[in-house]
Structures are given as structure tokens and as C-alpha cells.
Amino acid sequence: MNSPQNQDSYNEMLSAIQAFHDKHDFKGTGGEDLPYRVALMAEELGEISSAITKGKSNQQLAEECADLMILVMGTAIAANFDLKQSFWKKMDKLMKRESKMINGKIRVSEFRDVN
């Protein structure tokens, strides 16, 4: 596959992933089945974990993160939602949230009382 003109474009990335789905007929062969995709995403998260905990190269970590990103964006195709719109909506929400230090690590959350 040739790299697109504008590699910064979300739509170009999504088109490339759509072409990948079409090439292997994911729609017709279970590749867009959501529970299956969750399993694949968990697998990639495990590979990210391994890359860090086993001290692999930063390049290996970047490749595993790309695998997960491709699956996440492909899940937006499979489940038919606008991930770009959801991303900006969520970023707006996150930017308004408070943070707290919990066990020495920062946590940004709604911190609703659970009483």
C-alpha cells in the first residue's frame, strides 16, 4: 500500500484500515465481529505490556501500539461509530476533570463518591 499524501489525516488512516478490512473481507468472515475484536485488542494490549516489561525496543513498543490503534479504529468501522467525533467529545470532557494523586500516581477521573 502506498502512503497517502497527508499522513496526518484521520480520514486517510481510516480509509487505509477500511481497505485492509475489504482486502480480507472482514465483514463477511467474522473479522468485524465485536467480541472477536475485543479478544484481538486484549492480545495486542498484552503485546504492549510485554514490550515494556520485557525491556524491548521503543520501536517494538511503537509497533504494538500501532497494532492496537489499527484495531481500535477498525472497531469504529465494524460498530459504525464516528471515533474522531467521540475522541474530541471525550477530550473536552477529560480536560474539564479534576486530578488527584493516588498511591503516588496522578489520576484524572470524575471521583464520584461511592457511598
Give least dist CB 66 to Mg ion, A. Answer: 8
Chain position whose Cβ is nearest to Mg ion: 67
Give least dist CB 101 to Mg ion, A. Answer: 33
- Evaluate whether 113 touches 72 at the Cβ level (below 8 Å): no
**Cβ closer to Mg ion: 66 or 94?**
66
Q: Residue 20 and residue 69: Cα distance in Å, rounded?
A: 14
**Rg for the chain (alpha carbons), in Å?**
17
Q: Based on the shown chain and the rule CB under 5 A, indicate whether residue 33 belongs to the binding site for Mg ion.
A: no
Cell 461509530 locates to 81
**Cβ closer to Mg ion: 42 or 94?**
42
**Cβ closer to Mg ion: 33 or 67?**
67
The string of DSSP letters for 42-98 reads: HHHHHHHHHHHHTT--HHHHHHHHHHHHHHHHHHHHHHT--HHHHHHHHHHHHHT-E
**Cβ closer to Mg ion: 32 or 44?**
44
Annotate each residue in 46-85 with x if it binds Mg ion (CB under 5 A) or - if it does not, as one string: -x----------------x--x------------------
Cell 484481538 locates to 40
Contacts to Mg ion by CB under 5 A: 47, 64, 67
